[in-house]
Amino acid sequence: MVARIPAFPTFLLLSAGLLASCGKGQDGELGVAVIGNASAINERGARLSSPAQLIRSATTEGLVGFDEQGRVVPALADRWIVTDNGQSYIFRLRDGTWPNGKRITADGAAAAVKKAIAALRGTALGLDLAAIDEVRVMADRVIEIDLAAPVPELLTLLAQPELGLPFGGRGIGPMAVKAGEGGARVFTLIPPETRGLPKQAKFAKRARPLRVTVAPSAKAVALFTDGTVDVLLGGKIDTVPLAGRIGLTRGNVRLDPVTGLFGLVVDRADGFLGDSANREALAMAIDRDALLGSFNIGGWQPTTRVVSGDVEDDLGTIGERWQGMTLDERRSQAAARVAAWKGAGRAIPTLNIAMPDGPGSGLVFAALRDGFARIGLSVRRLPEGERADLRLVDIAARYGRATWFLNQLSCAVQKAVCSPIGDERVAEARRAMDPQARAALLAEAEAEITAANGFIPIARPLRWSMVRSGTTGFAQSPWGWHPLPPLAWLPK
């Protein structure tokens, strides 16, 4: 009962390459660069940056985890069963000890699960977990998670880094971390017998340390280019032109088949943006084909939908918006709305768009600026994190169902513009026992949230990595997720 993995788009298949079974760095440390802020190593709490999620998952196990292909694998729980009605998951914990030397027991694990869930309240991931009714102890090493209604993606959710279970503020692996040279961190696999697992023959020979450097995109790419590292993780659309310049021709770039949200969120709903029809005018003005074309990535398709059509529970009743209208017709209608607003004596100040730094963001902004200018609006680019009217969001889905998309745009998460009615339909779907009824409610929710025009979709996100030929432990992932532990294992 795991969420369906989305199919590979054509352009991802073309970029994929078979990795050899052995390669550079296997006799010593494997160098890994992660695009991001070096402060990620010290991040705590439930709201983590992408590099901090990577570090958390390597050092703090949850009940389950992910392998390199995005499949759910055992972690603190070495086995589990799901009841026939899909409303109860029973986990048996492995034999082992917490960091303070005490045995891992159901009491401690259940308390840690409850604490992790409580810390996520008010977040989209917290809404994903809202159907959890009770976490209870069944036996010394057995816990049960009861659900108000079936959640087919529960195991995928429990594998998220935020559901890692520290004890006394510390995780129990599967990796240990220490400071390295030049600001890097060295991650090493903890011997299985130390973690309560069977001893593995030749463990010392098969396990290699990882030298991980979290750095801004230009530095991270430079580390890969000069051979300092063999793996580069964390690439998004803001940095994808860097990958195209140096890696695509050599076959080092790996593109992940992710779904998710890539577009503009309305963060200030007053004045011109206080009207849903005006917000729709912005969505109508964008030439998505031209925007994506500026990246020259074959097969990357635009979208005007809030929910990806690839999700398992999409009924197909909601299609792309403005079908039958040309771009010129859309822009003409949008320009008329802008003119009517101005004609009533109401000024429209320059709209501020907050977005990440990077050459890819520059291409996105240029396309947005051109589209909005065609309907009589001017825009200004602000750094990511600054208060703005619009914000570029680029988030990969954590599981392949409509609820992920709708929870991201809920009133609990997006404060400026949301749909309370859409949230009500999602809440009803969460309690629905029949899959068809649930899907119908989610389709209604999508229609309501789309009509609010608080989010302007552009395309599916892009996630890219660079991997030197012969490096093992890496695979393309539907979640854009590349855990560190598999990279530390050498092939037998």
Strand pairing report for 185-189 and 175-179: antiparallel
Strand pairing report for 64-66 and 231-235: unpaired
DSSP 3-state of 420:
helix
DSSP 3-state of 213:
strand
pLDDT at residue 298, rounded to an integer = 80
Question: What is the CB-side half-sphere exposure of residue 158 using CA atoms within 13 A?
Answer: 30
Q: How many other CB atoms are found less than 10 A from the CB of residue 48?
A: 18
DSSP 3-state of 43:
coil
User: Residue-wise pLDDT tens for the chain (492 aa)?
Assistant: 333 333 434 334 333 333 333 334 445 899 999 999 988 888 887 889 999 999 999 999 999 999 999 999 999 999 999 999 999 999 999 988 887 778 899 999 999 999 999 999 999 999 999 999 999 999 999 999 999 999 999 999 999 999 999 887 788 889 999 998 888 999 999 998 888 778 888 898 999 999 999 999 999 999 999 999 999 999 999 998 887 654 444 568 899 999 999 999 999 999 999 999 999 999 999 999 999 999 988 889 999 999 999 999 998 899 999 999 999 999 999 999 999 999 999 999 999 999 999 999 999 999 999 999 999 999 999 999 999 999 999 999 999 999 999 999 999 999 899 999 999 999 999 999 999 999 999 999 999 999 999 999 999 999 999 999 899 999 999 999 999 999 999 987
Strand pairing report for 72-74 and 77-82: unpaired
- The structural domains of the chain, with segments of one domain joined by +, span 1-59+173-258+465-492, 61-169, 260-459
Which residues does residue 172 pair with via DSSP β-bridges, in sequence order? none
In whole angstroms, what is the distance from residue 393 CA to residue 295 CA? 18
In whole angstroms, what is the distance from residue 385 CA to residue 392 CA? 10
> With 0-12 CB in 10 A as exposed, 13-18 as middle and 19+ as buried, what is 475?
middle
Distances (CA, A) of 308 to 165, 190, 462: 31, 39, 14
Identify which of 345, 394, 393, 353 has the alpha carbon closest to the alpha carbon of residue 371: 353
Query: Using one digit for the tens of pLDDT, what is the confidence trace for 260-300?
Result: 999 999 999 999 999 999 999 999 999 999 999 999 888 89
Q: What is the CA angle 79-83-85, rounded to 5? A: 150
Give me 54's structure tokens.
Answer: 């990577």
Instruction: Let me know how many helices (H) and strands (E) the chain has, helices first.
Output: 16, 18
Strand pairing report for 231-235 and 464-467: antiparallel
In whole angstroms, what is the distance from residue 151 CA to residue 130 CA? 10
Query: Using one digit for the tens of pLDDT, what is the confidence trace for 399-433?
Result: 999 999 999 999 999 989 999 999 999 999 999 99
> With 0-12 CB in 10 A as exposed, 13-18 as middle and 19+ as buried, what is 11?
middle
Residue 418 · residue 410 · CB < 8 Å: yes
DSSP 3-state of 80:
strand
Positive/negative CA dihedral, 424, 427, 432, 436: positive
Given this structure, which CATH class describes domain 61-169? alpha beta
State if pTM tops 0.85. yes
Residue 311 · residue 258 · CB < 8 Å: no
- Residue type at 227? G
Residue 490 · residue 472 · CB < 8 Å: yes
End-to-end CA, the chain? 31
In whole angstroms, what is the distance from residue 238 CA to residue 354 CA? 13
> With 0-12 CB in 10 A as exposed, 13-18 as middle and 19+ as buried, what is 354?
buried
Look up the CATH number of domain 260-459.
3.10.105.10
Look up the CATH number of domain 1-59+173-258+465-492.
3.40.190.10
Q: What is the CA angle 273-395-49, rounded to 5? A: 110
Number of residues that this document lists for the chain:
492
